[in-house]
Structure 1
Amino acid sequence: MLTELGNRARAWVAGPSPWTNVYGLARTLIALATAGTLAFSHSTTMFHPVSGISDTPLCDGLRAASLFCVLPAGWLEVARWTAVLLLVVVASGWRPRLTGLVHWWVAVSLHWSATLTDGGDQIAAILALLMLPLTLTDDRRWHWSAPSEAGLNDEPKRLIARSAWVMLRLQVAGIYFHASVGKFKVAEWVDGTALYYWLLDPLIGAPAWLARLMLPVLSSPVVALLTWSVLLLELGLAMGPLLSPSLRRVLLPLGIAFHLGIAVFHGLISFVAIMFGALILLLRPHDETFRFERLHAWLRQPRPQPAPAPAMEPVAAQAVPTTEVT
């Protein structure tokens, strides 16, 4: 029996390469989302004093290792733009073995030290941490490239990387499971009216023009079906790793459409980009690489040059009449 288990484990480790552009695209989206949050939010906003916390950024205990705490006081703007620059390098896909640790440090620094963050920032820090076994064992120059022969032949590294995929999927599945099951304790989600309140809330709901368009639907019995569909979709996403690949291919665009709706109705752009990355980690098989041939061809094709200006024809000199002065 133990021999059989060992053979199965070895076969699992020897399966498709875990180092593909699937996790590469996910980490690019997550890094760009955090970079966008920092680039478009001034430090006085991200590190604003809140009730009970007047001294910001938060630098007590382990938080002292935060990027926003290691620089001298008063250098928050420098730290913010340094973080943006580092995240852009991460998003480029260059040297995952080096930038993986940088990604986690910047993401967890924002989560630790800032006072005005959301759940997406926490998810980004967790996923960057769980991707470390993947990045530290990835010897590629770019996370868009095919895996190297040396990496493919290294069984311990493959075991670490494939185990990281399992942990990542369990984490994202747990997020969706908690999001779905936790709503069953809220009366408005159970009776089907939650979307009415969420989408029409003047502070966090849809923009006024969109709320007016949605009001007839949200005021009808259809709102109950829409509300319950959110619960079912989140529960389905949580069960994603247990489903067949064909069902996961259906769930992935549904999850993306769901989060696009959150971006449109609630304006949570960075949160949605982070969840796009999380959905890829959850539902996309890591050996089904993304094909970017069309994008590469479009980028490489010669751009039409503006037509040169027509040459000016030489104008024959005309004799100018002169008047003799006598």
Structure 2
Amino acid sequence: MLTRLGAAVRARAETSPWTNVYGLARTMLAVATLLTLLATDTTSLFRPVAGVPDFPNCDDIAQYGLFCVAGPGPGRYIGIAVLVVVATGWRPRFTALPHWWVTVSFQASGSLPDGGDQVAAVMTLLLLPVALTDGRPWHWGPAARVADPARSLLAWSAFLVVRLQVAGIYLQASMAKLGREEWANGTALYYWLNDPMFGSPEWASWLLRPVLASAAGVTLLTWGAIAVEFALVLGLVARREAWPYLLLAGLGLHASIALLMGLGSFALTMMACLVLYLRPADTPLPGPVPMPVHGWRPALRPGPVRDLSTKY
């Protein structure tokens, strides 16, 4: 048993975790926070709230954050610059810590951070062992060669923790909903989609009105969301063959949240989590450049053999 376990660990350690899969997730996480900073003015991001009169909040860990060290105005522009660089994929080893610092600073100092901001702060922290051991110039490039199996195993261990964290998020989300009467009886989305702030936009009203006017339609929407979240939890133990279907269901769930409730940055953050959770990191996404898993050089097609004996 120990021999088989050792062989499995060695095989995993010799497989490169540094592919464009986690690169895509890093870009999505950066863009989600970037959109929030770009689309919201400084006074709205760091508005004094009840119980926190400071502007911005600089208590506890927040005092070491970007928006307290540099100030809310300069900090916002510094954060935008950092996130733009991270989103391009340039030098993940050098941009990993600044990325985490921006996200945790915003989560700690922002007036009304949502769940997506909190998840982004956690995900960028958990991805540090992967990014800091990635020596590629771009996280979109070919998979890095595994020169040190220990570093590779460290990165794979981080991916395991990320998957446990994402499964925990969906488990908590689904179980917590069942503790609320409106979710348990299947009527919660009737109230959310008709809410004046978080409700559906005008362009979708004609489509949703007949559904929300039907008891069966409302129940299907409400319990369907819970069912998808429960199914995503099972992705932790499901066979890889089921991952694409679960990924598609999760992406559809969060795309609908973005379109119908306007929670775009939250949806993009959770989509990034789903990429890390349900897209195998050792299976690079299709791209214009060949991306082998075990080596750093793209495969070369041999050309025709030329007979040079008559020339020399």
Secondary structure at 1:223 match in 2: helix
- Normalised to the residue count of structure 2, the TM-score between the two structures is 0.88
Q: Which of the numbers 168, 174, 181 marks the counterpart of 2:168?
A: 174
How many angstroms does 1:213 deviate by? 3.7
Residue identity matched to 1:293: P
Question: Is the Cα contact below 8 Å between 1:30 and 1:124 reproduced in 2?
Answer: yes
Task: Find the counterpart in structure 1 of residue 64 from structure 2.
Answer: 65
| CA–CA separation in structure 2 for the residues paired with 1:85 and 1:8 | 42
Aligned 1:1-326 pairs, distance under 5 A:
1-14=1-14, 16-71=15-70, 75-149=71-145, 152-220=146-214, 221-293=216-288
Q: Which runs of 5+ in 2 are unaligned?
A: 290-312
Secondary structure at 2:236 match in 1: helix
CA RMSD of aligned residues (A): 1.5
Question: Is the Cα contact below 8 Å between 2:16 and 2:144 reproduced in 1?
Answer: no
Deviates more, 1:195-204 or 1:213-222: 213-222
Deviates more, 1:213-222 or 1:139-148: 213-222
| CA–CA separation in structure 1 for the residues paired with 2:286 and 2:241 | 19
| CA–CA separation in structure 2 for the residues paired with 1:230 and 1:218 | 15
Instruction: Summarize deviations over 1:48-90 as a string: whole Å, max 9, x none.
Output: 011111112111232221001112xxx4222101100100001
Residue identity matched to 1:243: A
Question: Is the Cα contact below 8 Å between 2:170 and 2:232 reproduced in 1?
Answer: yes
| CA–CA separation in structure 2 for the residues paired with 1:288 and 1:104 | 25
State how many pairs are aligned.
288
Q: Which runs of 5+ in 1 are unaligned?
A: 295-326
Question: Is the Cα contact below 8 Å between 1:56 and 1:114 reproduced in 2?
Answer: no
| CA–CA separation in structure 2 for the residues paired with 1:209 and 1:98 | 43
Structure of higher RCO (CA pairs closer than 8 Å, 6+ residues apart): 2
Question: Is the Cα contact below 8 Å between 1:200 and 1:211 reproduced in 2?
Answer: no
Secondary structure at 1:192 match in 2: coil
| CA–CA separation in structure 2 for the residues paired with 1:58 and 1:222 | 43
How many angstroms does 1:3 deviate by? 4.3
| CA–CA separation in structure 1 for the residues paired with 2:31 and 2:203 | 29
- What percent of counterpart residues are identical? 48
How many angstroms does 1:182 deviate by? 1.0
How many angstroms does 1:209 deviate by? 4.6
Deviates more, 1:239-248 or 1:204-213: 204-213
